[in-house]
Amino acid sequence: MIKKVTSLLCAVVLSTSFAVGNVVSAAVIPSDAPAYSYTSECSSTLSISGTTATCDSSVTGYYNETTKIVIKQTLQKKNSSSDWDDVCSWNNTIYNYRGSVTNTKNSLSNGTYRLKTVATVYAGTANETITKYSKEKTI
């Protein structure tokens, strides 16, 4: 909905500027802003206390458009080759236009970790998949 309103606003501003003969900057939407169809926000946050990781993922779609959100969280650990190995994962389904999921993993060994959040957001049978990574945390 916000995307549609923004597009309409851009069209009105641009058409008005051409009619008047003025030059208007088209930088209404940042060029690096993701263009999601069914998702307003998605976050992936990892916090570690001692040897316990708390994994938080939050997804917000659009009211009356988003029908279901499937969130897969994967806790990953950096290996000696600087690649990421999966430690554990959780799957959650939310039948709402927004939702948050929190999971914990105990007894972590020393190393660098991150949380990978993969959210599949549905509007009826149409969907989109978004992947977000948390900041890295080292213990």
- Tens of pLDDT, residue by residue over 102-118, are 999 999 999 999 999 99
pLDDT tens digits for range 56-71: 999 999 999 999 999 9
Looking at per-residue confidence, does 33 or 53 come out higher?
53
Of 4 and 45, more confident: 45
Can you tell me the mean pLDDT for 36-54? 95
What does the alpha-carbon distance between residue 7 and residue 78 come to, in Å, rounded to a whole number? 41
* 112 inside domain: yes
Confidence of residue 34 (pLDDT cuts 50, 70, 90): low
Residues 38, 127 contacting (CB under 8 angstroms): yes
The span from the CA of 110 to the CA of 115, in Å, is: 16
Please tell me the distance from the alpha carbon of residue 121 to that of residue 42, in angstroms, as a whole number: 10
| pLDDT for 18 | 42
**pLDDT mean over 38-51:** 95
pTM as predicted: 0.75
Q: What pLDDT sits at residue 12?
A: 46
Q: CA nearest 46: which of 75, 67, 19, 20?
A: 75
The answer to whether the CB of 62 falls within 8 A of the CB of 1 is: yes
Q: Is residue 102 part of a domain?
A: yes
Q: What is the DSSP code (8-state) at residue 50?
A: T
Domain limits for position 90:
37-138
Instruction: Classify residue 3: in a domain, yes or no.
Output: no
First to last CA, the chain: 42
When divided into structural domains, the chain yields a total of 1
CATH at 45: 2.60.40.10
Q: Mean of the per-residue pLDDT values for the chain?
A: 84
Q: Residues 19-48: what's their mean pLDDT?
A: 68
**CA distances, 93 to each of 76, 98, 112, 115 (Å):** 21, 11, 28, 18
